[in-house]
Chains A and B, each alone.
Chain A
């Protein structure tokens, strides 16, 4: 299968006047064409930072990025020039942001904004051409034609999020990043939109990264998962494997803290005690050791390396095999 994005040893460091914050450390994963990978983790775990680094949307003044993110087998997004990156934007990689209510300009009609975005890469496109394209995309996300001439405030949150998804599809990109794209919606709308996204993917053969803190979103709409904690990917692999048998204590904790998807009880919901560690100090041992109930002396002294397990799974835990 064709590789769309391969991230290798990605580090993102925020520089402030007094200290450095290591927001993402040694991240590595691969996404193939047609994959949909959910990146999960609690607030502040660095999942959005990871996405922004790959999209090169961070503030360059305060951020330092090392490592590689190879897109479409031959282009490194991290070392690429700004001009080359602009050429790639929306045409091959697009993004849907978290709060749909704020992701479009409030004083311009959808039409004006879509025309401007479309013409970044197709400066000569006619109004009719753009209208036709957008309306076919609006149909795809189950919105009526009239949405095209509305202002953002004239729509509901769900409609706006669908519009944002339609806009992200304008140039048929190879990769779409959903940065908490359904978080602000109610559960019913979220469910519908997830279903539509999965349907769409089948017809368009698109590849997706889904940044979320909601395990159920990953379970419903993704085939791969990357569990992130305090800037590190603790476990990556196929959704069906990991949900069946999580190998990292943190993944186990995450899964236990969400209600079962399809009715029935699977015991009491538990939370993971403690808080995220301070990201400005580098950690000698396992980053999760402080909160892990299975941690032993070795965990505090030695950083666990990725253990490759079957079906492309990677786990960063000394005791992965024993779980």
Chain B
């Protein structure tokens, strides 16, 4: 196991490095440039352009620019945002918190609710309960996130005025301590509900099909033939075997949630990574984009490593040698 983790760490770091280099090159290859954004729409003065390009090093060959980026990275510096003129590290650190709070809450809620519903539907397969729950899941999985968000805003904010429609805190109030936490939770209700509702179907589907599949496995017959009570078979043997695919789905979903749920964050004006990235793309803010992509790569690598370790604990058939 230790050797496996070491090896996975090394391959993980290599992957992150390759992703970093590819990102750098791809962004350079895309049309547009931060210099254009800085100069503004009406300004076409070639002298100013040349001056700005020199200032940010865009006049040098791509390979030299890449070398400079890597050198900075080794010193733990992600560089400064060209547009906002602030350190990228600081900007990301500011936005990562809100994204983790929103993403993790929704992912955990969806995992728990989706899995429970899936298990229940599998046990009552073909009965009215199953048909209602499964049908609802299809509706939610076909619903676009942003649309559901907008509908919830119309219903709960505009019409009923129960929940706030935007932001993470009340800008006019200056809460501290427990009041601040409550304020954040209150603001999080609508975005979290939207995200959870659209995440539930994947856990539901995987849990239901997995339970049904294990129920038909031959070893379940063995326990039935031995006279084991159905409840014990279910709790100890079916669930334990059926839970494995859910772990994988949770891992993958988690990794992508950490990089921000762009549409939700824009609809609810949630100050997270998704909005930061959207703005950076529009403004061709290279250092910020590269920084965000690096965080994405690292979070995917770390979560996948964790999933592999958890999987090895849950399934004895997996041996990492």
A116-B232, A151-B317 known; A106+B225 contact, CB < 8 A: no
B293: interface (CB < 8 Å): no
Q: How far is the CA of A49 from the CA of B82 in the complex (A)?
A: 75
**Which residue of A has the minimal Cβ distance to B317?**
A153
B40: interface (CB < 8 Å): no
The answer, among B226, B240, B316, for a CB contact under 8 Å with A94, is B226
Total interface residues in chain A, CB < 8 Å: 29
User: Chain A interface: which of B105-113, B134-142, B177-185, B214-222?
Assistant: B214-222
Write out the residue numbers on chain B whose beta carbons fall within 8 Å of the beta carbon of A120. Answer: 226-229
A104: interface (CB < 8 Å): yes
Total interface residues in chain B, CB < 8 Å: 22
Q: Which of B275-321 contact A (CB under 8 A)?
A: 314-317
**Which residue of B has the minimal Cβ distance to A106?**
B317
A199: interface (CB < 8 Å): no
Write out the residue numbers on chain A whose beta carbons fall within 8 Å of the beta carbon of B244. Answer: 107
Q: Is the Cβ of B222 less than 8 Å from the Cβ of A103?
A: yes
Q: How far is the CA of A89 from the CA of B229 in the complex (A)?
A: 11
Q: Which of A76-116 contact B (CB under 8 A)?
A: 85-91, 94-95, 97-99, 102-109, 116
Write out the residue numbers on chain A whose beta carbons fall within 8 Å of the beta carbon of B221. Answer: 57, 97, 103
Q: Is the Cβ of B236 less than 8 Å from the Cβ of A90?
A: no
Write out the residue numbers on chain A whose beta carbons fall within 8 Å of the beta carbon of B232. Answer: 116
A256: interface (CB < 8 Å): no
Q: How many A-B residue pairs have CB under 8 A?
A: 71
A89-B225, A90-B226, A120-B226 known; A105+B316 contact, CB < 8 A: no
Q: Is the Cβ of B225 less than 8 Å from the Cβ of A95?
A: yes
The interface bits of chain B over 227-252 (1 if a CB of A lies within 8 angstroms of the residue's CB, else 0) are 11100100011001100100000000
B223: interface (CB < 8 Å): yes
In the complex, what's the smallest C-beta–C-beta distance from B83 to chain A, in angstroms? 52
Q: Is the Cβ of B228 less than 8 Å from the Cβ of A57?
A: no
A107-B316, A107-B317, A151-B316 known; A57+B225 contact, CB < 8 A: yes
Write out the residue numbers on chain A whose beta carbons fall within 8 Å of the beta carbon of B315. Answer: 106-107
The answer, among A90, A99, A107, for a CB contact under 8 Å with B218, is A99
Q: Is the Cβ of B241 less than 8 Å from the Cβ of A105?
A: yes
Q: How far is the CA of A121 from the CA of B236 in the complex (A)?
A: 17
In the complex, what's the smallest C-beta–C-beta distance from B228 to chain A, in angstroms? 5
Q: How far is the CA of A91 from the CA of B314 in the complex (A)?
A: 32
B224: interface (CB < 8 Å): yes
Write out the residue numbers on chain B whose beta carbons fall within 8 Å of the beta carbon of A97. Answer: 218, 221-222, 225
A320: interface (CB < 8 Å): no
In the complex, what's the smallest C-beta–C-beta distance from A37 to chain B, in angstroms? 19
Q: Is the Cβ of A94 less than 8 Å from the Cβ of B218?
A: no
Write out the residue numbers on chain B whose beta carbons fall within 8 Å of the beta carbon of A90. Answer: 225-227
Q: Is the Cβ of B241 less than 8 Å from the Cβ of A107?
A: yes
Write out the residue numbers on chain A whose beta carbons fall within 8 Å of the beta carbon of B229. Answer: 86, 120
Q: Is the Cβ of B217 less than 8 Å from the Cβ of A102?
A: yes
Q: How far is the CA of A117 from the CA of B232 in the complex (A)?
A: 11
A55: interface (CB < 8 Å): yes
In the complex, what's the smallest C-beta–C-beta distance from B69 to chain A, in angstroms? 46
Q: Is the Cβ of A104 less than 8 Å from the Cβ of B222?
A: yes
Q: Is the Cβ of A102 less than 8 Å from the Cβ of B236?
A: no
Q: Is the Cβ of B241 less than 8 Å from the Cβ of A106?
A: yes
**Which residue of B has the minimal Cβ distance to A87?**
B227
Q: Is the Cβ of B226 less than 8 Å from the Cβ of A103?
A: no
Q: Is the Cβ of B218 less than 8 Å from the Cβ of A116?
A: no
A-B contact pairs, 12 of them (CB 8 A): A97-B221, A99-B218, A102-B217, A102-B219, A105-B219, A105-B240, A106-B317, A107-B241, A107-B317, A117-B226, A120-B229, A153-B316
Given contacts A89-B227, A102-B218, 4 further A-B contacts (CB under 8 A): A95-B222, A104-B222, A105-B240, A120-B227
Q: Which residues of B contact A (CB under 8 A)?
A: 217-219, 221-229, 232, 236-237, 240-241, 244, 314-317
State the 5 A-B residue pairs at the shortest beta-carbon distance, nearest first: A89-B227, A102-B218, A86-B227, A90-B226, A117-B226
